């Protein structure tokens, strides 16, 4: 090692001062002291900090938004089909029409949690895309109740491709349901019976009530 090379660098932080005292101790015993403004020090550290690229891998259809964290992902999906088999208690409704649904969750260590669901406007998505009151049970605000079901084994984003279908296959109960969540004012069972043979566009013409929120409110400020 060269005699003049740095052996130790010391930063001394004083909360009462805006400058940071830096001390470089070299191999030959000499010391160099400087006082650097705190914002200049942070800018220098950021400029010389390299982060490894975050790779999502192959993304499943319907991905609307991704946010990467050191320990996982925040994912938002939309349904890629406007019909699906759903259950209300023990009654099955095959090929049931759906509005445009958004499903958000946190993916960490192969497990999914923090489920949220919303209904949004048809057409191209934008930060201002309008949201509606959720017309079905099991959702409170945006929070989706999945009961005691465990969502494990999701160690890659590609495995999320069947998640929307799996979530919609969970039976709807009566949790959080209110007849005034739609323009129809029906009970939950009456609603499912009424909608089962309708076209998906019927939601937007006769059912849904805007909730005053937008896609940005659901996904977050990163939209």
Say which residue, 117 or 155, is predicted with more confidence: 117
pLDDT in tens, 85-139: 999 999 999 999 999 999 999 999 999 999 999 999 999 999 999 999 999 999 9
Q: What is the pLDDT of residue 50?
A: 64
Q: What is the pLDDT of residue 56?
A: 75
pLDDT in tens, 105-116: 999 999 999 999
pLDDT, mean of residues 188-211: 98
pLDDT in tens, 34-82: 888 877 767 776 666 666 666 777 888 999 999 888 888 999 999 999 9
Q: What is the pLDDT of residue 2?
A: 46
What is the three-state SS of the chain?
Answer: CCCCCEEEEEEECCCCCCEEEEEEEECCCCEEEEEEEHHHHHHHHHHCCCCCCCCCCCCCCCEEEEEEECCEEEEEEECCCCEEEEEECCEEEEEEECCEEEEEEEEECCEEEEEEEEEECCCCCCCCCEEECCCCCCEECCEECCCCCCCCCCCCHHHHHHHHHHHHCCCECCCCCCHHHCCCCCCHHHHHHHHCCCCCCHHHHHHCCEEEEEHHHHHCCCC
Q: What is the pLDDT of residue 221?
A: 46
């Amino acid at each position: 090692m060269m005699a003049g090379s740095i052996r130790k660098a010391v930063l001394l932080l004083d909360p009462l001062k805006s400058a940071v005292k830096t001390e470089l101790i070299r191999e030959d015993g000499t010391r160099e002291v400087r006082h650097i403004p705190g914002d200049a020090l942070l800018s220098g550290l950021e400029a010389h900090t390299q982060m490894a690229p975050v790779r999502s891998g192959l993304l499943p259809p319907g991905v609307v938004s991704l946010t990467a964290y050191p320990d996982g992902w925040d994912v938002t999906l939309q349904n890629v089909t406007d019909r699906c088999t759903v259950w209300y208690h023990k009654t099955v409704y095959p090929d049931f029409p759906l509005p445009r649904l958004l499903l958000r969750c946190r993916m960490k260590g192969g497990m999914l949690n923090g489920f949220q669901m919303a209904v949004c406007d048809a057409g191209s998505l934008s930060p201002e895309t309008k949201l509606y009151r959720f017309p079905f049970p099991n959702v409170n605000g945006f929070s989706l109740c999945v009961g005691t079901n465990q969502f494990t084994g999701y160690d890659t984003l590609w495995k999320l491709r069947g998640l929307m279908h799996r979530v919609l296959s969970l039976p709807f109960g009566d949790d959080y349901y209110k007849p005034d969540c739609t323009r129809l004012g029906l009970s939950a069972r009456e609603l499912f019976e009424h909608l089962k043979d309708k076209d998906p566009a019927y939601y937007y013409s006769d059912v849904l009530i805007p909730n005053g929120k937008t896609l940005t409110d659901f996904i977050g400020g990163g939209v």
